[in-house]
Structure 1
Amino acid sequence: MGTTVSVRALTKEYGRARVLDGIDLAIGPGVTGLLGPNGAGKTTLLRCLATTLAPDGGEIRVLGHDPADRARRIEIRRRLGYLPQDPGYYPHFTAFELVDYVAILKEITDRRTRYREVRRVLAEVDLADRSQTKVRKLSGGMRQRLAFAQALLGDPDVLILDEPTVGLDPEQRMRFRALVSRLGEGRTVLLSTHQTEDVAALCELVVVQHRGRVIFQGAPRDIAAAAKGQVWLSESPPDGGSRLFWRTADGRYRSLGDPPPNAVPADPTVEDGYLLLLGEPAEVAA
């Protein structure tokens, strides 16, 4: 199976601000990670792909369909699962009732089939024992997992996940990684995240978006390799104006860019490559 999601010259503006500035993107089955600083346009891009927001220009194809066409848009939605960054909740529903309601919206009309599917997705996210708990009584991490459960309804061909690990503790994130890695076998999963370790652990492809443009697309090892020869460990902090350094747990300083005095090279990571790729915005964040 080839490309399942493609974008060409995509643009979107809010007032005078151009949030998407000619995005070109092509992804296929497997797990793709979308990285970028706040304000890069990641959520806007995902909303366009999930058919909840119309772009101002350019073309989108999801599973071969054009979401600008109403009939094709409905077909995309039947085969797509979407976890938005800020999912809405009905606090007086139970977890089961909320997912069941979304299942009805997804046209799973046979009650027996629907209930079986609701129980399946709640079990996938380890919420089977909370199915009768009111949403308002669930923790933030549980609500995030509940939102993920509704995205899994109907075994979608394309999953779009916007910051899916927000609110998850380390054990839950490990379980999430295991689930997503399995889901990525034979289907397309596109997830945005600020967690570079999730990208390194999960993704076959990483896309870096900055100021409304795609500035990198490749394997995680490629973005890490871009920092080769620019990552250093030293006993003292580097001199100069660079703010891309931090003190590690063993008391040494890890810095990016030019080598400090008496520094030794360190193996680069996805995070190192990502920070160097962003340049000045990364220095400000650091």
Structure 2
Amino acid sequence: MSLEIKNLSKTYPNGVRAMDSISLKIGKGMFGLLGPNGAGKSTLMRTLATLQYPDSGEIRFNGKPVNSRRSVTGFRSVIGYLPQEFGVYPNRSAADLLNYLGVLKGLTRRSERQTRVQQVLELTNLTHVEDEAVSSFSGGMKQRFGIAQLLLNKPQLMIVDEPTAGLDPSERKHFLNMLKETGLQSTVIFSTHIVEDVRDLCNDLAIIHQGKIRVQCAPSEALRIINGKIWVKHSKTRLLSDTEALPSIYPLSSRYTDQGAYEIRVHSDQRPGPDFESATATLEDFYFAAINGLLP
């Protein structure tokens, strides 16, 4: 199972170049697409879901191009898409809405469709509310319903855009566990700006910034790349002093600690100064290094 993206580009009428020659190779398992807001993640996800078309470039799934009406129709039958904002019809029950969506996804035989609806309701732990209006669901329940509709056609490729936005910690953990479990036998592209979600879930990742892919690698490879290049200093301010603000030192992040000081993390090939200590590299360090152009 493989998805190959070659040189996808997209410029909107307002002049924003949302995708700039994006190329990726994605295999089976969980693939994390990381990037800040406005980086081009949602544009790429909508393009892969065939909701919009690129200005140029090519998409191939399992070696077959997705570039004609016939191929797009076939591709849509094997994908599932959960957008960043999942709208629902008011006053329609979960079971009714899943039946309706099942028809749109090609489940035209009623008995087969109803069986599948019950299966996905059970998988997402929504059977007890199948007769209730989806519009009345909590945020976590709506996300579970989103996963239910995603799974209706047993997709080979799942495209999930910023799925944990607005969820409380308990709902977020439950949702991510469900997503990982359902993605064991397929390809899941998981778009987010939350680094720890990718660290916990994904076997491969890419970082997108300003419409370009900055890097693609496994999380373990990401840590190897920046091993020995992360340094930390504790300070009373968030800023480095003038003597430390050298071209070879690149601030990555800072946070307020329980000890009443700021922990400043920097990227440098060598120890920046006597007040710095070597730190264990994290995926968040790698992310900031990538979007700031610090990777080799």
User: TM-score normalized by structure 2?
Assistant: 0.87
Q: Which amino acid aligns with 2:256?
A: R
* 1:256 and 2:254 aligned: no
Rounded to whole Å, the distance in 2 between the matches of 1:220 and 1:23 is 20
The Cα of 1:136 is off from its aligned counterpart by: 2.1
Question: How many residues align structurally?
Answer: 279
Rounded to whole Å, the distance in 2 between the matches of 1:225 and 1:98 is 47
Match of 2:60 in 1: 61
Q: Answer whether contact 1:208 1:215 (CA < 8 A) is retained.
A: yes
CA distance 1:123–1:256, shift in 2 (3 Å): farther
Q: Which amino acid aligns with 1:178?
A: N
After superposition, residues 123-162 of structure 1 pair within 5 angstroms as 123-162=122-161
Q: Answer whether contact 1:141 1:166 (CA < 8 A) is retained.
A: no
Rounded to whole Å, the distance in 2 between the matches of 1:261 and 1:206 is 35
Rounded to whole Å, the distance in 2 between the matches of 1:28 and 1:227 is 25
Match of 2:256 in 1: 247
- Which of 280, 284, 288 is the aligned partner of 1:271? 284
After superposition, residues 35-74 of structure 1 pair within 5 angstroms as 35-74=34-73
Please say which of residues 222-231 and 209-218 is displaced more in the overlay: 222-231
After superposition, give the CA deviation of every residue in 1:239-266 in whole Å (9 maximum; x if it has no partner).
3564721123454514223546423222
CA distance 1:182–1:190, shift in 2 (3 Å): same
Match of 1:100 in 2: 99
The Cα of 1:93 is off from its aligned counterpart by: 0.6
Q: Answer whether contact 1:49 1:62 (CA < 8 A) is retained.
A: no
Match of 1:117 in 2: 116
SS of the residue corresponding to residue 47 of structure 1 reads helix
Match of 2:248 in 1: none
Please say which of residues 99-108 and 56-65 is displaced more in the overlay: 56-65
Q: Which amino acid aligns with 1:239?
A: S
Q: Which amino acid aligns with 2:135?
A: R
CA distance 1:23–1:248, shift in 2 (3 Å): same
Q: Which runs of 4+ in 1 moved over 6 A?
A: none
Rounded to whole Å, the distance in 1 between the matches of 2:62 and 2:122 is 28
SS of the residue corresponding to residue 226 of structure 2 reads coil
SS of the residue corresponding to residue 226 of structure 1 reads helix
Match of 1:23 in 2: 22
Taking only the aligned residue pairs, the percentage that are identical comes to: 38
* 1:197 and 2:206 aligned: no
Q: Which amino acid aligns with 1:13?
A: T
SS of the residue corresponding to residue 64 of structure 2 reads coil
Q: Answer whether contact 1:144 1:167 (CA < 8 A) is retained.
A: no
Unaligned stretches of 5+ in structure 1?
281-286
The Cα of 1:124 is off from its aligned counterpart by: 2.1
User: TM-score normalized by structure 1?
Assistant: 0.89
Give 1 or 2 for the bigger CA radius of gyration. Answer: 2
CA distance 1:179–1:144, shift in 2 (3 Å): closer
Q: Which amino acid aligns with 2:255?
A: W
Match of 2:6 in 1: 8
After superposition, give the CA deviation of every residue in 1:87-126 in whole Å (9 maximum; x if it has no partner).
2210221122111211111121222221221122122222
